[in-house]
Homo-oligomer: A and B are copies of this chain.
Amino acid sequence: MPDRPATEPVQEIHAQHGQPVLMRALSLLAGFSDKRRSLSLVELSRAAGMPPATALRFLRHFTEWGALERLEDGRYVIGVRLWEIASLAPRGHGIRDIALPYLEDLYEITHQHVLLAVRDGRDAVLIDRLSSKDATEVAYRVGGRLPLPTTAVGRILLAHGSPSLQDEVLASPIDAVPGTAPVSARELRMVLADVRRAGVSTVHRSLPSKTVSVAAPVLGPGAEVVAALSIVMPDKGILEHEVIPAVRTAARAISRDLGYQPATSAAVRHLREAHP
């Protein structure tokens, strides 16, 4: 491309020329979302910022391999083959399978929404959700993304994230969420310290209805936080204190099942290192 008009800073955000083929191809998949589960060639090529001819070649390869499938009308959808392989993600269905019985216990007791989320980049990703039809409404969908600074699960994951992650998230403006009190970076730092100390995170929200979320961390074998478990229930005053032990207990039970050793004292650890 010899002459590019100096005015426009190039529209295409994704998949610039010069990137490896594979990553440009993968950027096509990013066009899919909850609201757009089937896409046409031009829609995909526009979303990924590449010429239709190029996109078409990729899409054919994806389709032939089974990562995508084609509907009768020519639109593309994610294929079962990809779904099948992706369902092996340890942080996806992997954690889910182990956690499910405990989520059910928690659900059985409270009959409110029960959420399980992991962190991916600057978001929390919802791994599983149990909820009856008559529980309070929430918009979250399995596979969907939640912001870190303004949700109970998000704050758990953020509070136990690396300092560099926290700096990154706190540096960028925190999106105000309708129904929650807006927080400054300064306030959020204090909140996160509280979350770390208390081992739970509580978030009140007044829209679409008055709710409280209570979340607790789930730990992996190395005591690192791998997920966050939460209950979302109607806000009826001080009731929330009663569910905190339940959420923490369930989170701890999942942690144990994941291989975390709760009561590893220094002495025991020493013995274990000596005789592995």
By a beta-carbon cutoff of 8 Å, the part of chain A in contact with chain B is 20-23, 25-27, 29-30, 32-34, 37-38, 57-58, 61-62, 64-67, 69, 72, 77-94, 118, 120-121, 125, 142-143, 145, 222
Contacts of A30 in B (CB 8 A): 85
Q: Are A89 and B85 neighbours in the complex by a CB distance under 8 Å?
A: no
Known: A80-B91, A87-B143. 15 other contacts (CB 8 A): A21-B22, A22-B22, A22-B62, A26-B67, A30-B85, A32-B88, A38-B90, A66-B120, A78-B88, A78-B90, A79-B91, A84-B120, A84-B143, A84-B145, A87-B92
Q: Are B67 and A91 neighbours in the complex by a CB distance under 8 Å?
A: no
From B62, B67, B87, contact of A83 by CB (8 A):
B87
Q: Are A80 and B92 neighbours in the complex by a CB distance under 8 Å?
A: yes
A179 to B185, CA, bound (A): 63
Q: Are A92 and B83 neighbours in the complex by a CB distance under 8 Å?
A: yes
Looking at A38, A87, A94, the one whose CB has the most chain B CB atoms below 10 A away is A87
Q: Are B92 and A37 neighbours in the complex by a CB distance under 8 Å?
A: no
Q: Are A26 and B91 neighbours in the complex by a CB distance under 8 Å?
A: no
Contact (A82, B89) CB under 8 Å given A21-B22, A22-B62, A120-B66: yes
